[in-house]
Amino acid sequence: MSPRTSKQFEKIRNNSKQKIMRSALELFARNGVMSTSVSDITGNAGVSKGLLYNYYENKDALIKELILSGMKRMTMDFDFDYGEKLTKERFEQLINKYFELLENDTEYWKLYLSIITQPAVTDLVKEEIIKMLSPFLKAVSQYYKDKNEKSPEAGAWLIGAILDGVSLDYMFDRKHYPVQEIKEIIIKKLL
């Protein structure tokens, strides 16, 4: 048997890390961040504690990476250039993309939202999340400013809050939630 290549080692490393992250996501969502131990995570993932500590300094570092990777995933999935002027058409594309992402991977977002709304988690990643949301808030504020809205920054925060609320409500009862109608109302009334 020939020795493994660096590519093979990298694949093994990535697979192990993903197992740990999936396990943590599942357990944090089900049991809460504070009630889930490193032993719980590694036992569920079928890996050793040492392996987890090879990737993460502590549980907080794992939580941070889990949340921030979810935010990065959402940002990459959006594939939206916030540097370009936000027109009504582009804003509508942004809203449509948001709803598309919400509906396409509901299980992931259900778990993710249940974790990110826990106070211990928000305290850990608040600054990084605000940095990641900054381009969105800036673009939407400028959009409302161009429309001569009285409080453009407040309007941007309101859109963010509405989308957050829609996400939470949709995850609570996907079967009965009128997601398409809500999207149409947001586009009609807020753009």
Q: Are 42 and 48 spatial neighbours (Cβ–Cβ below 8 Å)?
A: yes
**pLDDT tens for the 191 residues of the chain, in order:** 566 788 887 888 888 999 999 999 889 888 888 899 999 999 999 999 999 999 999 999 998 888 888 777 777 777 778 888 999 999 999 999 889 988 887 777 777 787 778 787 888 888 888 888 899 999 999 999 999 999 999 999 999 999 989 998 998 888 999 999 999 999 999 99
Rounded Cα distance between 34 and 50, Å, is 20
Rounded Cα distance between 121 and 65, Å, is 11
The reported pLDDT for the residue numbered 2 is 65
Ranges of each domain in the chain: 1-56, 67-190
List the CATH code of the domain at 1-56.
1.10.10.60
Rounded Cα distance between 83 and 135, Å, is 8
At residue 188, the 3 state secondary structure works out as: helix
Rounded Cα distance between 47 and 13, Å, is 12
Task: State the Cα angle at 169 between 164 and 173, rounded to 5°.
Answer: 150
Q: Report the predicted TM-score, pTM, of the whole model to 2 decimal places.
A: 0.77
DSSP state of 2: P
- Give the CATH fold of the 67-190 domain: Tetracycline Repressor; domain 2 (1.10.357)
Rounded Cα distance between 32 and 111, Å, is 11
